Structure 1
Amino acid sequence: MKAPSEVVLITGGSSGIGRCIGQHLKTAGYTVYGTARNPGRYQEFKDFPLLKLDVQKAESVQEVIAELIQREGRIDILINNAGVGITGPMEETPHSESLHAFETNLHGPLRLIKEVLPHMRKQHSGFILNITSIAGYMGLPFRGIYSATKGALELVTEAYRMELRQFGIRMCSLAPGDYATNIASGRYHSPVREDSPYREAYGQSLELIDRHVGEAEPPDAVGRKVLYILKKTRPSVHYTVGSPLQRFSLTLKRLIPDKIYERLLLNHYKL
Protein backbone atom coordinates (compact mmCIF):
# COMPACT_ATOMS: atom_id res chain seq x y z
CA MET A 1 0.00 0.00 0.00
CA LYS A 2 1.39 3.38 -1.01
CA ALA A 3 2.13 5.72 1.91
CA PRO A 4 0.25 9.03 1.87
CA SER A 5 2.25 12.02 0.68
CA GLU A 6 3.35 14.62 3.19
CA VAL A 7 0.96 17.54 3.66
CA VAL A 8 2.51 20.98 3.11
CA LEU A 9 1.12 24.41 3.93
CA ILE A 10 2.81 27.39 2.23
CA THR A 11 1.78 30.83 3.39
CA GLY A 12 1.66 33.41 0.62
CA GLY A 13 1.41 30.71 -2.03
CA SER A 14 -0.56 32.55 -4.70
CA SER A 15 2.41 34.11 -6.50
CA GLY A 16 6.15 34.65 -6.56
CA ILE A 17 8.39 32.49 -4.41
CA GLY A 18 5.51 30.77 -2.61
CA ARG A 19 3.86 29.66 -5.82
CA CYS A 20 7.17 28.46 -7.24
CA ILE A 21 7.86 26.42 -4.09
CA GLY A 22 4.40 24.88 -4.28
CA GLN A 23 4.81 23.92 -7.92
CA HIS A 24 8.10 22.15 -7.23
CA LEU A 25 6.74 20.29 -4.22
CA LYS A 26 3.55 19.21 -5.97
CA THR A 27 5.57 17.87 -8.90
CA ALA A 28 7.68 15.94 -6.37
CA GLY A 29 4.56 14.25 -4.95
CA TYR A 30 3.74 16.35 -1.89
CA THR A 31 0.16 17.30 -1.03
CA VAL A 32 0.37 21.08 -1.27
CA TYR A 33 -1.86 23.85 0.06
CA GLY A 34 -1.14 27.54 -0.29
CA THR A 35 -2.72 30.55 1.34
CA ALA A 36 -3.85 34.00 0.25
CA ARG A 37 -5.69 36.79 2.01
CA ASN A 38 -8.33 36.77 -0.75
CA PRO A 39 -8.35 33.43 -2.60
CA GLY A 40 -11.36 34.59 -4.61
CA ARG A 41 -9.08 36.93 -6.54
CA TYR A 42 -7.28 33.92 -8.02
CA GLN A 43 -10.08 32.16 -9.91
CA GLU A 44 -7.64 31.06 -12.62
CA PHE A 45 -5.17 29.62 -10.10
CA LYS A 46 -5.10 25.83 -10.57
CA ASP A 47 -1.67 24.83 -9.24
CA PHE A 48 -2.89 23.73 -5.81
CA PRO A 49 -5.69 24.71 -3.36
CA LEU A 50 -5.51 28.18 -1.82
CA LEU A 51 -6.89 28.65 1.70
CA LYS A 52 -7.92 32.00 3.12
CA LEU A 53 -5.40 33.39 5.62
CA ASP A 54 -4.43 36.72 7.11
CA VAL A 55 -1.23 36.07 9.06
CA GLN A 56 -1.83 39.19 11.18
CA LYS A 57 -5.00 37.73 12.72
CA ALA A 58 -4.81 34.92 15.27
CA GLU A 59 -8.38 33.82 14.49
CA SER A 60 -7.54 33.48 10.80
CA VAL A 61 -4.46 31.39 11.61
CA GLN A 62 -6.51 29.10 13.86
CA GLU A 63 -9.18 28.70 11.19
CA VAL A 64 -6.80 27.81 8.37
CA ILE A 65 -4.98 25.15 10.41
CA ALA A 66 -8.31 23.70 11.59
CA GLU A 67 -9.49 23.54 7.96
CA LEU A 68 -6.30 21.83 6.83
CA ILE A 69 -6.50 19.26 9.63
CA GLN A 70 -10.14 18.63 8.76
CA ARG A 71 -9.25 18.05 5.12
CA GLU A 72 -6.07 15.98 5.53
CA GLY A 73 -5.96 14.88 9.17
CA ARG A 74 -2.41 16.11 9.59
CA ILE A 75 0.18 18.75 8.70
CA ASP A 76 3.72 17.61 8.04
CA ILE A 77 5.43 20.72 6.70
CA LEU A 78 4.85 24.42 7.30
CA ILE A 79 6.62 26.89 5.03
CA ASN A 80 6.40 30.44 6.38
CA ASN A 81 6.75 32.40 3.18
CA ALA A 82 4.20 35.24 3.38
CA GLY A 83 5.89 38.60 3.77
CA VAL A 84 5.88 42.26 2.83
CA GLY A 85 8.59 44.59 1.63
CA ILE A 86 9.27 48.01 3.08
CA THR A 87 11.76 50.71 2.12
CA GLY A 88 12.51 54.21 3.29
CA PRO A 89 14.81 56.26 5.47
CA MET A 90 14.66 54.95 9.03
CA GLU A 91 13.85 58.41 10.34
CA GLU A 92 10.98 58.97 7.91
CA THR A 93 9.35 55.53 7.92
CA PRO A 94 5.99 55.79 9.72
CA HIS A 95 5.92 53.75 12.90
CA SER A 96 2.62 52.21 11.83
CA GLU A 97 4.29 50.82 8.70
CA SER A 98 7.16 49.40 10.75
CA LEU A 99 4.65 47.64 12.98
CA HIS A 100 2.79 46.32 9.94
CA ALA A 101 6.00 44.84 8.54
CA PHE A 102 6.88 43.15 11.82
CA GLU A 103 3.31 41.84 12.21
CA THR A 104 3.52 40.17 8.81
CA ASN A 105 7.17 39.12 8.55
CA LEU A 106 7.81 38.06 12.16
CA HIS A 107 4.64 37.73 14.21
CA GLY A 108 2.78 36.07 11.34
CA PRO A 109 5.21 33.13 11.25
CA LEU A 110 5.16 32.98 15.05
CA ARG A 111 1.37 32.62 15.01
CA LEU A 112 1.54 29.83 12.44
CA ILE A 113 4.28 27.98 14.30
CA LYS A 114 2.37 28.14 17.59
CA GLU A 115 -0.74 26.75 15.92
CA VAL A 116 0.88 23.81 14.13
CA LEU A 117 3.17 22.61 16.92
CA PRO A 118 0.51 20.72 18.93
CA HIS A 119 -0.38 18.74 15.79
CA MET A 120 3.26 18.01 14.97
CA ARG A 121 3.98 16.91 18.53
CA LYS A 122 1.03 14.54 18.35
CA GLN A 123 2.47 13.12 15.13
CA HIS A 124 5.99 12.97 16.66
CA SER A 125 7.26 14.63 13.47
CA GLY A 126 7.16 17.84 11.48
CA PHE A 127 9.25 20.30 9.49
CA ILE A 128 9.01 24.09 9.67
CA LEU A 129 10.88 26.15 7.09
CA ASN A 130 11.05 29.92 7.56
CA ILE A 131 11.69 31.93 4.40
CA THR A 132 13.81 34.91 5.41
CA SER A 133 16.15 36.98 3.22
CA ILE A 134 19.82 37.58 2.63
CA ALA A 135 18.91 41.15 3.62
CA GLY A 136 18.23 39.78 7.11
CA TYR A 137 21.96 39.23 7.67
CA MET A 138 22.89 42.89 7.38
CA GLY A 139 21.43 46.34 8.01
CA LEU A 140 20.90 47.70 4.51
CA PRO A 141 20.47 51.44 3.92
CA PHE A 142 16.84 52.41 3.32
CA ARG A 143 15.80 48.78 3.93
CA GLY A 144 16.54 48.74 7.64
CA ILE A 145 13.06 47.72 8.80
CA TYR A 146 12.87 44.91 6.27
CA SER A 147 16.32 43.69 7.27
CA ALA A 148 15.27 43.79 10.93
CA THR A 149 12.10 41.73 10.38
CA LYS A 150 13.95 39.03 8.50
CA GLY A 151 16.93 39.06 10.85
CA ALA A 152 14.58 38.58 13.79
CA LEU A 153 13.03 35.55 12.11
CA GLU A 154 16.52 34.07 11.64
CA LEU A 155 17.17 34.34 15.40
CA VAL A 156 13.73 32.97 16.26
CA THR A 157 14.57 29.95 14.09
CA GLU A 158 17.78 29.34 16.03
CA ALA A 159 16.01 29.44 19.40
CA TYR A 160 13.02 27.35 18.33
CA ARG A 161 15.22 24.61 16.82
CA MET A 162 16.79 23.87 20.18
CA GLU A 163 13.45 23.90 22.01
CA LEU A 164 11.81 21.55 19.48
CA ARG A 165 14.61 19.04 19.16
CA GLN A 166 13.17 16.86 21.95
CA PHE A 167 9.94 16.43 19.98
CA GLY A 168 11.51 15.34 16.70
CA ILE A 169 10.33 18.51 14.95
CA ARG A 170 12.82 20.02 12.52
CA MET A 171 13.13 23.73 11.75
CA CYS A 172 15.48 25.84 9.67
CA SER A 173 15.54 29.01 7.60
CA LEU A 174 16.13 29.71 3.94
CA ALA A 175 17.33 33.18 2.97
CA PRO A 176 16.81 34.02 -0.72
CA GLY A 177 18.52 36.87 -2.49
CA ASP A 178 16.80 38.98 -5.16
CA TYR A 179 14.43 37.15 -7.49
CA ALA A 180 11.93 38.38 -10.04
CA THR A 181 8.67 38.45 -8.07
CA ASN A 182 5.83 40.90 -7.54
CA ILE A 183 6.99 41.89 -4.03
CA ALA A 184 7.81 45.41 -5.22
CA SER A 185 4.20 46.00 -6.28
CA GLY A 186 2.93 45.36 -2.77
CA ARG A 187 5.84 46.92 -0.94
CA TYR A 188 5.45 49.99 1.21
CA HIS A 189 7.99 52.64 0.42
CA SER A 190 8.24 56.01 2.02
CA PRO A 191 7.75 58.73 -0.61
CA VAL A 192 10.82 60.54 -1.87
CA ARG A 193 10.00 63.92 -0.36
CA GLU A 194 11.35 67.07 -1.97
CA ASP A 195 12.09 68.58 1.45
CA SER A 196 13.76 65.45 2.82
CA PRO A 197 17.47 65.55 3.70
CA TYR A 198 17.57 61.97 2.35
CA ARG A 199 15.94 62.83 -1.00
CA GLU A 200 18.91 62.30 -3.30
CA ALA A 201 20.45 59.30 -1.53
CA TYR A 202 17.11 57.54 -0.99
CA GLY A 203 15.94 58.21 -4.54
CA GLN A 204 19.10 56.69 -5.99
CA SER A 205 18.91 53.67 -3.66
CA LEU A 206 15.25 53.06 -4.47
CA GLU A 207 16.02 52.99 -8.19
CA LEU A 208 18.89 50.55 -7.55
CA ILE A 209 16.70 48.27 -5.41
CA ASP A 210 13.95 48.17 -8.04
CA ARG A 211 16.47 47.52 -10.81
CA HIS A 212 17.97 44.57 -8.93
CA VAL A 213 14.55 42.93 -8.58
CA GLY A 214 13.60 43.74 -12.16
CA GLU A 215 16.80 42.20 -13.54
CA ALA A 216 16.73 39.15 -11.26
CA GLU A 217 16.11 35.56 -12.32
CA PRO A 218 12.75 33.80 -11.75
CA PRO A 219 12.59 32.05 -8.35
CA ASP A 220 12.91 28.48 -9.66
CA ALA A 221 16.17 28.04 -7.74
CA VAL A 222 14.26 28.69 -4.50
CA GLY A 223 11.81 25.89 -5.25
CA ARG A 224 14.64 23.49 -5.98
CA LYS A 225 16.45 24.50 -2.79
CA VAL A 226 13.34 23.95 -0.67
CA LEU A 227 12.94 20.45 -2.10
CA TYR A 228 16.59 19.74 -1.28
CA ILE A 229 16.18 20.99 2.30
CA LEU A 230 13.00 19.01 3.01
CA LYS A 231 14.77 15.77 2.19
CA LYS A 232 17.34 16.42 4.93
CA THR A 233 16.86 14.31 8.06
CA ARG A 234 19.21 16.63 9.94
CA PRO A 235 18.96 20.02 8.26
CA SER A 236 21.41 22.81 8.90
CA VAL A 237 20.28 25.86 10.85
CA HIS A 238 20.43 28.31 7.94
CA TYR A 239 20.44 28.01 4.16
CA THR A 240 20.83 30.64 1.46
CA VAL A 241 19.95 30.78 -2.22
CA GLY A 242 20.82 33.56 -4.62
CA SER A 243 23.43 34.84 -7.02
CA PRO A 244 27.09 33.99 -6.29
CA LEU A 245 27.72 37.63 -5.39
CA GLN A 246 24.82 37.76 -2.93
CA ARG A 247 25.91 34.57 -1.21
CA PHE A 248 29.54 35.66 -1.18
CA SER A 249 28.50 38.89 0.56
CA LEU A 250 27.56 36.83 3.62
CA THR A 251 30.92 35.07 3.67
CA LEU A 252 32.64 38.42 3.30
CA LYS A 253 30.67 39.87 6.21
CA ARG A 254 31.99 37.14 8.48
CA LEU A 255 35.59 37.61 7.39
CA ILE A 256 36.27 41.34 7.20
CA PRO A 257 35.97 44.15 9.79
CA ASP A 258 32.57 45.81 10.13
CA LYS A 259 33.74 49.22 8.95
CA ILE A 260 35.25 47.80 5.78
CA TYR A 261 32.05 45.89 5.05
CA GLU A 262 30.07 49.07 5.70
CA ARG A 263 32.24 50.89 3.18
CA LEU A 264 31.53 48.20 0.58
CA LEU A 265 27.79 48.65 1.11
CA LEU A 266 28.09 52.41 0.86
CA ASN A 267 29.94 52.05 -2.42
CA HIS A 268 27.42 49.52 -3.71
CA TYR A 269 24.51 51.86 -3.00
CA LYS A 270 26.54 54.88 -4.19
CA LEU A 271 26.12 56.67 -0.86
Structure 2
Amino acid sequence: MANDNTTGAVSGTAADGTSVFEEHRPLLLGVAYRMLGRVADAEDVVQEAWLRWSGADRAAVREPRAYLVRTTTRLAVDRLRQIASRREAYVGPWLPEPLATDYGHTVEDAAERAMLSESVSLAVLVVLESLSPLERAVFVLREAFGLPHAEIAGILDRGEAAVRQLAARARRHVAERTPRFEADPAQRRELTERFLAAAVEGDLDGLLAVLAPDARLVGDGGGRAKAPLRTILGAGKVARFLAAISQTPVPGLAVAPLELNGGPALLATSEGRPYAALVPEAADGLVQRVYIVSNPEKLAHLAR
Protein backbone atom coordinates (compact mmCIF):
# COMPACT_ATOMS: atom_id res chain seq x y z
CA MET A 1 0.00 0.00 0.00
CA ALA A 2 1.37 3.39 -0.94
CA ASN A 3 2.36 5.87 1.71
CA ASP A 4 1.97 8.91 -0.58
CA ASN A 5 -1.60 10.01 0.03
CA THR A 6 -1.44 13.23 -1.97
CA THR A 7 -2.03 12.15 -5.57
CA GLY A 8 -4.84 10.53 -7.51
CA ALA A 9 -8.52 11.14 -6.84
CA VAL A 10 -11.51 9.88 -4.88
CA SER A 11 -15.03 11.13 -5.42
CA GLY A 12 -15.45 14.29 -3.35
CA THR A 13 -19.17 14.01 -2.72
CA ALA A 14 -20.33 13.85 0.89
CA ALA A 15 -22.19 10.61 0.21
CA ASP A 16 -19.11 8.93 -1.25
CA GLY A 17 -16.98 10.23 1.63
CA THR A 18 -19.40 8.76 4.17
CA SER A 19 -19.58 5.39 2.45
CA VAL A 20 -15.80 5.16 2.20
CA PHE A 21 -15.42 5.96 5.90
CA GLU A 22 -18.11 3.47 6.94
CA GLU A 23 -16.41 0.79 4.88
CA HIS A 24 -13.26 1.23 6.95
CA ARG A 25 -14.90 1.95 10.32
CA PRO A 26 -14.53 -1.65 11.68
CA LEU A 27 -10.80 -1.56 10.90
CA LEU A 28 -10.39 1.85 12.54
CA LEU A 29 -12.28 0.75 15.65
CA GLY A 30 -10.11 -2.38 15.80
CA VAL A 31 -6.92 -0.33 15.69
CA ALA A 32 -8.18 2.23 18.23
CA TYR A 33 -9.51 -0.37 20.70
CA ARG A 34 -6.26 -2.34 20.69
CA MET A 35 -4.36 0.89 21.18
CA LEU A 36 -6.52 2.25 24.00
CA GLY A 37 -8.23 -0.71 25.68
CA ARG A 38 -11.51 1.19 26.08
CA VAL A 39 -14.47 1.08 23.75
CA ALA A 40 -15.53 4.65 24.60
CA ASP A 41 -12.03 6.02 23.94
CA ALA A 42 -11.83 4.06 20.68
CA GLU A 43 -15.18 5.43 19.53
CA ASP A 44 -14.08 8.97 20.41
CA VAL A 45 -10.89 8.58 18.37
CA VAL A 46 -12.77 7.17 15.38
CA GLN A 47 -15.26 10.04 15.59
CA GLU A 48 -12.36 12.51 15.54
CA ALA A 49 -10.93 10.64 12.54
CA TRP A 50 -14.29 11.08 10.82
CA LEU A 51 -14.18 14.82 11.46
CA ARG A 52 -10.67 14.98 9.97
CA TRP A 53 -11.80 12.91 6.98
CA SER A 54 -14.93 14.96 6.37
CA GLY A 55 -12.87 18.16 6.39
CA ALA A 56 -10.07 16.82 4.21
CA ASP A 57 -9.54 17.46 0.52
CA ARG A 58 -10.56 13.93 -0.44
CA ALA A 59 -9.82 14.55 -4.10
CA ALA A 60 -6.15 14.65 -3.09
CA VAL A 61 -6.27 11.38 -1.15
CA ARG A 62 -4.88 8.49 -3.16
CA GLU A 63 -5.44 5.71 -0.61
CA PRO A 64 -8.37 6.34 1.78
CA ARG A 65 -7.58 3.27 3.89
CA ALA A 66 -3.97 4.36 4.44
CA TYR A 67 -5.08 7.93 5.21
CA LEU A 68 -7.70 6.78 7.73
CA VAL A 69 -5.44 4.26 9.49
CA ARG A 70 -2.71 6.88 9.72
CA THR A 71 -5.10 9.47 11.16
CA THR A 72 -6.64 7.05 13.65
CA THR A 73 -3.29 5.71 14.84
CA ARG A 74 -1.87 9.17 15.43
CA LEU A 75 -4.99 10.25 17.31
CA ALA A 76 -4.79 7.10 19.45
CA VAL A 77 -1.13 7.74 20.27
CA ASP A 78 -2.04 11.27 21.36
CA ARG A 79 -4.95 9.95 23.44
CA LEU A 80 -2.70 7.39 25.16
CA ARG A 81 -0.38 10.16 26.28
CA GLN A 82 -3.31 12.24 27.52
CA ILE A 83 -4.84 9.48 29.66
CA ALA A 84 -1.61 8.29 31.29
CA SER A 85 -2.39 10.16 34.52
CA ARG A 86 -5.92 8.70 34.58
CA ARG A 87 -4.47 5.19 34.58
CA GLU A 88 -2.00 6.06 37.36
CA ALA A 89 -4.80 7.30 39.66
CA TYR A 90 -7.05 4.30 39.04
CA VAL A 91 -8.30 2.39 42.11
CA GLY A 92 -7.06 -1.21 42.03
CA PRO A 93 -5.88 -3.10 38.94
CA TRP A 94 -6.77 -1.57 35.57
CA LEU A 95 -8.17 -3.92 32.92
CA PRO A 96 -9.28 -3.15 29.37
CA GLU A 97 -13.00 -2.97 28.68
CA PRO A 98 -14.36 -6.37 27.62
CA LEU A 99 -15.21 -6.32 23.93
CA ALA A 100 -17.98 -8.43 22.41
CA THR A 101 -16.53 -10.34 19.45
CA ASP A 102 -17.72 -13.05 17.11
CA TYR A 103 -15.10 -13.67 14.48
CA GLY A 104 -16.63 -17.07 13.69
CA HIS A 105 -19.33 -15.39 11.62
CA THR A 106 -17.33 -12.53 10.12
CA VAL A 107 -13.93 -14.05 9.32
CA GLU A 108 -13.81 -17.22 7.25
CA ASP A 109 -10.08 -17.89 7.35
CA ALA A 110 -9.21 -19.84 10.53
CA ALA A 111 -5.66 -18.49 10.77
CA GLU A 112 -6.85 -14.89 10.44
CA ARG A 113 -9.58 -15.49 13.01
CA ALA A 114 -7.05 -16.92 15.49
CA MET A 115 -4.70 -13.97 14.93
CA LEU A 116 -7.49 -11.44 15.50
CA SER A 117 -8.70 -13.25 18.62
CA GLU A 118 -5.24 -13.45 20.16
CA SER A 119 -4.43 -9.80 19.43
CA VAL A 120 -7.60 -8.65 21.21
CA SER A 121 -7.34 -11.00 24.20
CA LEU A 122 -7.27 -9.38 27.62
CA ALA A 123 -3.95 -11.07 28.39
CA VAL A 124 -2.29 -9.34 25.43
CA LEU A 125 -4.05 -6.01 25.99
CA VAL A 126 -2.93 -5.96 29.62
CA VAL A 127 0.69 -6.41 28.54
CA LEU A 128 0.32 -3.70 25.88
CA GLU A 129 -0.40 -1.28 28.73
CA SER A 130 3.28 -1.52 29.70
CA LEU A 131 4.53 -0.49 26.25
CA SER A 132 5.23 3.06 25.17
CA PRO A 133 2.58 4.60 22.89
CA LEU A 134 4.83 4.18 19.83
CA GLU A 135 5.69 0.57 20.69
CA ARG A 136 2.02 -0.18 21.16
CA ALA A 137 1.12 1.40 17.82
CA VAL A 138 3.79 -0.57 15.99
CA PHE A 139 2.79 -3.83 17.67
CA VAL A 140 -0.91 -3.36 16.88
CA LEU A 141 -0.37 -2.39 13.26
CA ARG A 142 2.20 -5.10 12.62
CA GLU A 143 1.01 -8.07 14.68
CA ALA A 144 -2.77 -7.59 14.59
CA PHE A 145 -3.21 -6.15 11.11
CA GLY A 146 -0.09 -7.29 9.28
CA LEU A 147 0.96 -3.89 7.93
CA PRO A 148 4.46 -3.78 6.40
CA HIS A 149 7.18 -2.02 8.34
CA ALA A 150 7.53 0.56 5.57
CA GLU A 151 3.86 1.48 5.77
CA ILE A 152 3.98 1.74 9.58
CA ALA A 153 7.00 4.02 9.22
CA GLY A 154 4.91 6.32 7.02
CA ILE A 155 2.01 6.27 9.47
CA LEU A 156 4.22 7.24 12.42
CA ASP A 157 6.69 9.47 10.57
CA ARG A 158 9.60 7.29 11.65
CA GLY A 159 12.37 5.60 9.72
CA GLU A 160 11.78 2.00 8.71
CA ALA A 161 14.83 0.81 10.68
CA ALA A 162 13.48 2.49 13.82
CA VAL A 163 10.09 0.88 13.29
CA ARG A 164 11.69 -2.56 12.93
CA GLN A 165 13.49 -2.02 16.24
CA LEU A 166 10.27 -0.93 17.94
CA ALA A 167 8.45 -3.95 16.52
CA ALA A 168 11.10 -6.40 17.70
CA ARG A 169 11.23 -4.87 21.18
CA ALA A 170 7.44 -4.86 21.54
CA ARG A 171 7.05 -8.41 20.22
CA ARG A 172 9.71 -9.70 22.62
CA HIS A 173 8.10 -7.86 25.56
CA VAL A 174 4.65 -9.29 24.80
CA ALA A 175 5.95 -12.82 24.21
CA GLU A 176 7.76 -12.83 27.57
CA ARG A 177 4.70 -11.71 29.53
CA THR A 178 1.72 -13.50 27.98
CA PRO A 179 0.84 -17.19 28.18
CA ARG A 180 1.26 -19.27 25.04
CA PHE A 181 -2.18 -19.82 23.58
CA GLU A 182 -3.49 -23.25 22.65
CA ALA A 183 -2.55 -24.29 19.13
CA ASP A 184 -6.02 -25.81 18.71
CA PRO A 185 -8.73 -23.14 19.21
CA ALA A 186 -11.36 -25.87 19.67
CA GLN A 187 -9.45 -27.36 22.62
CA ARG A 188 -9.01 -23.91 24.14
CA ARG A 189 -12.73 -23.23 23.80
CA GLU A 190 -13.66 -26.60 25.36
CA LEU A 191 -11.35 -25.97 28.31
CA THR A 192 -12.64 -22.47 28.98
CA GLU A 193 -16.25 -23.63 28.70
CA ARG A 194 -15.57 -26.31 31.34
CA PHE A 195 -14.05 -23.64 33.55
CA LEU A 196 -17.01 -21.30 33.10
CA ALA A 197 -19.49 -24.06 33.91
CA ALA A 198 -17.61 -24.87 37.12
CA ALA A 199 -17.45 -21.17 38.03
CA VAL A 200 -21.21 -20.76 37.64
CA GLU A 201 -21.89 -23.82 39.78
CA GLY A 202 -19.29 -22.93 42.38
CA ASP A 203 -17.77 -26.37 41.77
CA LEU A 204 -14.49 -26.20 43.70
CA ASP A 205 -13.16 -29.55 42.42
CA GLY A 206 -14.15 -28.69 38.87
CA LEU A 207 -12.31 -25.39 39.09
CA LEU A 208 -9.19 -26.98 40.54
CA ALA A 209 -9.18 -29.52 37.72
CA VAL A 210 -8.78 -26.86 35.02
CA LEU A 211 -6.80 -24.12 36.78
CA ALA A 212 -3.02 -23.97 36.40
CA PRO A 213 -1.18 -24.31 39.74
CA ASP A 214 0.08 -20.72 39.44
CA ALA A 215 -3.20 -19.32 38.08
CA ARG A 216 -3.97 -15.72 38.87
CA LEU A 217 -7.18 -13.74 39.10
CA VAL A 218 -7.33 -10.01 38.40
CA GLY A 219 -10.41 -7.97 39.27
CA ASP A 220 -11.28 -4.47 38.09
CA GLY A 221 -13.94 -2.57 40.03
CA GLY A 222 -12.35 0.85 39.58
CA GLY A 223 -13.48 1.85 43.06
CA ARG A 224 -17.09 1.72 41.82
CA ALA A 225 -17.89 -1.95 42.42
CA LYS A 226 -16.63 -4.81 44.57
CA ALA A 227 -13.46 -6.40 43.24
CA PRO A 228 -10.16 -7.67 44.67
CA LEU A 229 -7.73 -4.78 45.07
CA ARG A 230 -4.81 -7.14 44.55
CA THR A 231 -4.18 -10.03 42.19
CA ILE A 232 -5.19 -13.41 43.67
CA LEU A 233 -2.41 -15.96 43.13
CA GLY A 234 -2.57 -19.77 43.09
CA ALA A 235 -5.19 -22.26 41.91
CA GLY A 236 -6.54 -22.92 45.41
CA LYS A 237 -7.13 -19.27 46.27
CA VAL A 238 -8.60 -18.50 42.84
CA ALA A 239 -10.95 -21.49 43.02
CA ARG A 240 -12.13 -20.63 46.53
CA PHE A 241 -12.74 -17.02 45.56
CA LEU A 242 -14.81 -18.01 42.52
CA ALA A 243 -16.76 -20.59 44.51
CA ALA A 244 -17.52 -17.97 47.16
CA ILE A 245 -18.74 -15.29 44.77
CA SER A 246 -20.97 -17.81 42.98
CA GLN A 247 -22.92 -18.07 46.24
CA THR A 248 -23.15 -14.30 46.80
CA PRO A 249 -26.77 -13.06 46.55
CA VAL A 250 -27.28 -10.58 43.71
CA PRO A 251 -30.74 -9.04 43.02
CA GLY A 252 -32.23 -10.34 39.76
CA LEU A 253 -29.06 -12.21 38.85
CA ALA A 254 -28.83 -13.74 35.38
CA VAL A 255 -25.72 -15.25 33.79
CA ALA A 256 -25.28 -15.68 30.04
CA PRO A 257 -22.40 -17.02 27.94
CA LEU A 258 -21.01 -14.85 25.17
CA GLU A 259 -17.78 -14.26 23.30
CA LEU A 260 -15.59 -11.54 24.75
CA ASN A 261 -12.17 -10.62 23.40
CA GLY A 262 -12.08 -13.59 21.08
CA GLY A 263 -13.02 -16.35 23.51
CA PRO A 264 -15.80 -17.82 25.67
CA ALA A 265 -16.81 -15.67 28.63
CA LEU A 266 -19.72 -14.95 30.96
CA LEU A 267 -21.73 -11.79 31.47
CA ALA A 268 -23.66 -11.51 34.73
CA THR A 269 -26.51 -9.02 34.89
CA SER A 270 -28.40 -7.69 37.88
CA GLU A 271 -32.00 -6.75 37.15
CA GLY A 272 -31.12 -6.44 33.49
CA ARG A 273 -27.99 -4.29 33.91
CA PRO A 274 -24.45 -5.60 33.32
CA TYR A 275 -22.97 -6.55 36.69
CA ALA A 276 -19.72 -8.38 35.96
CA ALA A 277 -17.84 -9.98 33.07
CA LEU A 278 -15.76 -13.11 33.67
CA VAL A 279 -13.07 -13.77 31.06
CA PRO A 280 -10.66 -16.73 31.36
CA GLU A 281 -7.41 -17.13 29.40
CA ALA A 282 -6.25 -20.68 28.69
CA ALA A 283 -2.81 -21.91 27.63
CA ASP A 284 -0.82 -25.14 27.92
CA GLY A 285 -4.00 -27.13 28.60
CA LEU A 286 -5.06 -25.14 31.69
CA VAL A 287 -6.69 -21.84 32.60
CA GLN A 288 -3.81 -19.52 33.41
CA ARG A 289 -5.57 -16.24 34.14
CA VAL A 290 -9.03 -15.10 35.10
CA TYR A 291 -10.22 -11.55 34.60
CA ILE A 292 -13.30 -10.14 36.30
CA VAL A 293 -14.48 -6.68 35.26
CA SER A 294 -17.17 -5.17 37.48
CA ASN A 295 -16.57 -1.44 36.98
CA PRO A 296 -19.99 -0.36 35.62
CA GLU A 297 -18.38 2.22 33.33
CA LYS A 298 -16.54 -0.58 31.54
CA LEU A 299 -19.64 -2.73 31.13
CA ALA A 300 -22.16 -0.13 29.96
CA HIS A 301 -21.45 -0.75 26.27
CA LEU A 302 -22.32 -4.45 26.68
CA ALA A 303 -25.90 -3.49 27.51
CA ARG A 304 -26.33 -2.56 23.85
Which TM-score tier does this pair reach, normalised by the shorter chain? Answer: under 0.3
The structure that has the greater radius of gyration is: 2
Q: Report the TM-score when normalising by structure 1.
A: 0.24
